[in-house]
Amino acid sequence: MRLKKYLFAVLLGALVFTISCRKEEGTIEPPIEEEEEVKVDTTEEKIKGMSLEEKIGQLLIVGIEGTTIEEDTIKLIENHKVGGFILFSRNIRDEYQTLELLNNLKEINSNNDIPLFLSIDEEGGRVSRLPKSFKKLPEAKIIGDINNKDFSFKYGKILGERVKLLGFNMDFAPVLDINSNPKNPVIGNRAFGSTIDVVVDNGLEVMKGIQSVGVIPSIKHFPGHGDTDMDSHVNLPKIEKNINELENLELVPFKKAIDDGVDMVMVAHILFPKIDSEYPSTMSKEIIDEILRERLGFKGVVISDDLTMGAIVKNYSLENAVVSFLKAGGDIALVCHGKDNPSKVIEKIKEALDEGILGEEEINEKVYRILKLKEKYEIEDNLIDTIDLGGLNEDTQELLKNMNK
């Protein structure tokens, strides 16, 4: 009996010893779960460190008056921290002056943390702001008539290379309007054609061609300018179509572009009374927030057409129009004319924030989208030392030679 107790004690001791050893070796302890790594959204962190002035500035792309930097331009950058500039023919004399002007804008902005959007309307055809030293490109209608996707992509690539050569990083092109109204005074041959297929097949390839060289394309003019009989530069066009009619025609190219990853959409100044009887597209929550954002699923940056155009300033105050655009879901207000207008607009946005018409959280969401776009395209205020216009013109000539093949 004593022997049995002795053996039992020995066995028990051995078992305890074994378990103790294994614990030390970590063989039977459950694995310690590693803490999940917390991912920090650097863009959100950047926004937290921005002043209200910096945030509001990002909501504007503005025009300037001359061909050189003036004191007003310096104030726009240093005091108002504007998000970007647009140049027109009035700002462009030749390629060397344009290069110097863009370099100067970048140099002045180098003290700010956020680089500039530098934009231009370069569609080809009659809408071209570049110097005459750039070989002329045909209008979109001719590209649509050729109706070759590979050719359209190369055309878009040339468009992107032209603007990038001088230091631009954004092109307000291509036009995705369907030219369905023969009396249209503003679109016409700027459109790729009068049918959905021609506009989609060629417009989207031009968009991708621009993207392929690191330039941001902005498709336009949402929700469709092709059925107007009035020029929105002069006054406010009106289209008597409901949402179902738009979905069957005008919206199709925009929806296809959204599905294909477009990053920026420009909204037109057009009144659609059957959708919003009070406000044109650029000021309409129904059109920007409900149709473009929710129905079509666009998550990118929404920019207005120039808010100093006749369609707006003949019917609304510029400052109120900008606030309405932002409230409706827009991100960047394009203010192309009037040297005092940007500061007036900025003050009105501040006033709207003070009065609770706009909320800072809304502003943060807009700035987030804008900064993400600048990050995606790796926008930086890098200076360009030299340009090879000869090489680009040779590429353009080669493209033109293949037009009829």
Mean pLDDT, the chain, whole residue set: 91
What pLDDT shows up at residue 232? 76
What pLDDT shows up at residue 182? 79
What is the mean pLDDT of the segment spanning 112-123?
97
Residue 130 is encoded by which pair of tokens? 């570049």
pLDDT surpasses 90 at 109: yes
Is 221 annotated as catalytic? no
What pLDDT shows up at residue 235? 80
- Cα end-to-end span (Å), the chain: 108
pLDDT surpasses 60 at 280: yes
What pLDDT shows up at residue 29? 52
Sorting pLDDT into bands at 50, 70 and 90, what band is 184?
A: confident
pLDDT surpasses 70 at 23: no
Sorting pLDDT into bands at 50, 70 and 90, what band is 229?
A: low
What pLDDT shows up at residue 4? 45
Is 337 annotated as catalytic? no
pLDDT in tens, 54-89: 999 999 999 999 999 999 999 999 999 999 999 999
Sorting pLDDT into bands at 50, 70 and 90, what band is 33?
A: low
Hey, what domains does the chain have and what are their CATH numbers? 69-401 (3.20.20.300)
What is the number of other CB atoms lying within 10 angstroms of the CB of residue 301?
22
pLDDT surpasses 70 at 47: yes
> Which one of the listed residues 121, 305, 306, 331 is annotated catalytic?
305
- pTM for the model stands at 0.89
What pLDDT shows up at residue 22? 47
pLDDT surpasses 70 at 3: no
pLDDT surpasses 80 at 219: yes
What is the mean pLDDT of the segment spanning 105-125?
96
Q: What crossing angle do the helices spanning 149-166 and 389-401 adopt, rounded to 10°? A: 160
> Which one of the listed residues 72, 145, 231, 233 is annotated catalytic?
233
